[in-house]
Amino acid sequence: MKKHIAFFFMLILSAGICGAQDSLQQDIPVHDPVMTRQDGIYYLFATGNGISCWSSKDMKNWKKEKPVFSAPPAWAVQAVPGFKGHIWAPDIFYFNGLYHLYYSISTFGKNRSCIGLATNKTLHPASPDYQWTDHGKIIESVPGRDEWNAIDPNLVLDENQQPWLTFGSFWNGLKLVKLSDNAQEIAQYPQRWYTIASAPQHQPGDEPAATNKAIEAPFIFKKGNYYYLFASYDYCCKAEKSTYKMRVGRSEQLTGPYLDKDQKPMTKGGGSLILEGDTQWYGVGHNAVCTFDGKDFLIFHGYDASDKGRSKLRIEELTWDTSNWPSVKSK
C-alpha cells in the first residue's frame, strides 16, 4: 500500500513539474519589449492588452504573468477615440523607491496619443506590496496642434539625476522633455521641448500621413562620457514586409546634438546602423538597452522569417569598440 501511495505522490509531483515547465517559453511573441531585474528575477514588459508582462530567472525561459491592467484605463478610453485597451511600447525604470512604468495610448497611424504612468513598489506578483497605481496622462499630442506623436516613452536621468522623458514616432521626429522631480509630470519651469532625431526624407505615399519618413522608439543609454540615442527606422508590423532596423548616435549632452560615426546629426537623418533584417529575421527594432552583471544587452523584437514573420523577443549582448561605439556581439 505504501508503495502505491508513494508512486501516486510521484505522479502528482511529476505532473506539477511538467506543468511548471509547460508554462515557460523560450520563443515568446512580443512587440516593443523592455526589461529590468528585481531580486534575481527578470521582468519583461511589452505591447499588449493591459501591457503584457513576463518573468524569467535566466532571460531564456519565460513565464507569462497577468497584464498590468485588467481593464482599459478609463481616462485613456476618453482621451483617445478608438482606444480599446491594447497598450503600446512601455518603459520600466526604478526611481525614488518605485518602479515607474510609462506606456502609450494611441491608435495606428494617428497622433491623437497619450503617454501614461503607473507605479509599483515591487514587480513580484506574489508580494503583498504588489499593486499598480495609475497616475494617468503625462504627455499628450493633438492633431492639428502638435507635429509629433506622444508614444514610445523612455525615461533617462541627466548628470544631476533629474528625470527626462524621450518619446516619439514619425511626424517631425523624436522628442525630449524634462520631467518634475518625482518624474510624474512635465517640469513646468523651464518647459522646453527638444527634437533629438528625425528622418526628413519624406516621399509621397509614406505612411502614416506624416512630415517625415519612419523613425520611432527612442532609447537613451548613458555609458562613459556619452549619452547614446538608439532609434528604430523604417517599417515595423508588416510581417514579411517589415523593414525595421536600429541605428545609434551619441552626444556628451543629454539634449544633443546626437551625431553618428560620420558626424552626421540624427536630426538630419543620421544614425549608424546597429542591426537590420536578414534571411532569418525580416526586420528588427524597438529596442531597450539593459546592463546586468556588467554586461550590456540589446532587448528588441524581430519578425521571424521561419514563422510567417511573427514578432518574437530577441536579446543580444552589446560590445564596444575602441572608439566607444556599440555593436551586436558576434556569436
The SS3 call for residue 94 is strand
Residue 23 binned pLDDT confidence (cut-offs 50, 70, 90): low
Q: Is 6's pLDDT higher than 50?
A: no
The SS3 call for residue 265 is strand
Residue 16: per-residue pLDDT: 42
Q: Is 272's pLDDT higher than 70?
A: yes
CA 36 to chain centre: 11
The residue assigned the cell 549582448 is: 317
What is the CATH T-level fold of the domain 34-328, as seen in this structure?
Tachylectin-2; Chain A (2.115.10)
What are the sequence ranges of the domains in the chain?
A: 34-328
Return the closest-CA partner of residue 108 out of 197, 209, 212, 200: 209
Average pLDDT of every residue of the chain: 89
Residue 201: per-residue pLDDT: 60
Which of 22-26, 31-35, 279-283, 302-306 is predicted most confidently? 31-35
Residue 80's Cβ-side half-sphere holds a number of Cα atoms within 13 Å equal to: 30
> How many residues are listed for the chain in this entry?
331
In this predicted model, what pLDDT tens digit does every residue of 38-59 receive, in sequence order?
Answer: 999 999 999 999 999 999 999 9
Q: Is 98's pLDDT higher than 90?
A: yes
**For the CA atoms of the chain, what is the radius of gyration?**
21
Q: Is the peptide bond before 153 cis (omega within 30 degrees of 0)?
A: no
Q: Is 301's pLDDT higher than 50?
A: yes
In this predicted model, what pLDDT tens digit does every residue of 121-162 receive, in sequence order?
Answer: 999 999 999 999 999 999 999 988 888 899 999 999 999 999
Higher pLDDT, 8 or 58: 58
In this predicted model, what pLDDT tens digit does every residue of 275-299 receive, in sequence order?
Answer: 999 999 999 999 999 999 999 999 9
Residue 40: per-residue pLDDT: 97
Residue 272's Cβ-side half-sphere holds a number of Cα atoms within 13 Å equal to: 17
State the cell numbers at 276. Answer: 537590420
Higher pLDDT, 289 or 243: 289
Choosing from 152, 216, 234, 304, the catalytic residue is: 216
Residue 32 annotated as catalytic: yes
Residue 216 annotated as catalytic: yes
- Output the pTM of the full model: 0.89
Q: What mean pLDDT comes out for the span 21-40?
A: 86
The set of residues, in sequence order, having a beta carbon less than 8 Å from that of 227 and lying 6+ positions away, is 156, 220, 221, 250, 251, 252, 253, 254, 258
